[in-house]
Amino acid sequence: GAVVSQHPSRVICKSGTSVKIECRSLDFQATTMFWYRQFPKKSLMLMATSNEGSKATYEQGVEKDKFLINHASLTLSTLTVTSAHPEDSSFYICSAADAGRNQPQHFGDGTRLSIL
């Protein structure tokens, strides 16, 4: 089946650094990718939707300058958390879909981000 690879699975870094998370679709063309944030014991909150080759659409309340999303190819999207602070610590999950096939999204395994 379709596989979405997310890297790194876990990252620990100091406050003030920027962290990049990659999301790759391994066996299909991901015309659309989604980035979610999940707080402990909470549901997934959609942060943004990115379509290949265009700017991401951010959900209300999500800072565009804080969470930079790039979807430069049909197999790769990146989320960069800029100048990360402890409150940015969370579990970030990406998903990918081929809008042309209108099939369910496939999810990555998530990235546990811890900011010290």
Neighbouring C-beta atoms of residue 36, cutoff 10 Å: 21
Q: For residues 81 and 93, which CB has a smaller minimum distance to another protein in the complex?
A: 93
Contact residue for another protein among 18, 63, 72, 109 (CB under 8 A): 109
Backbone angles phi, psi at 87, to 5 degrees: -70, -10
Closest to 108 measured CA to CA, from 18, 32, 36: 36
Contact residue for another protein among 69, 75, 106, 115 (CB under 8 A): 106
Neighbouring C-beta atoms of residue 39, cutoff 10 Å: 11
Instruction: Decide: is 113 part of the binding site for another protein (CB under 8 A).
Output: no
Contact region for another protein (CB under 8 A) — 12-20, 69-77, 80-88, 103-111?
103-111
Q: Where are the beta strands (DSSP E) in 8-110?
A: 10-13, 19-25, 32-38, 44-51, 57-58, 67-73, 76-81, 90-97, 106-107
Contact residue for another protein among 56, 77, 110, 113 (CB under 8 A): 110
Decide: 93 and 36 in contact? Cβ < 8 Å.
yes
| Shortest separation between residue 54's beta carbon and another protein, angstroms | 15
Contact residue for another protein among 13, 20, 22, 44 (CB under 8 A): 44
The footprint of another protein (CB under 8 A) covers: 4, 6, 31-32, 34, 42-44, 46, 49, 91, 93, 95, 97-99, 101-110, 112
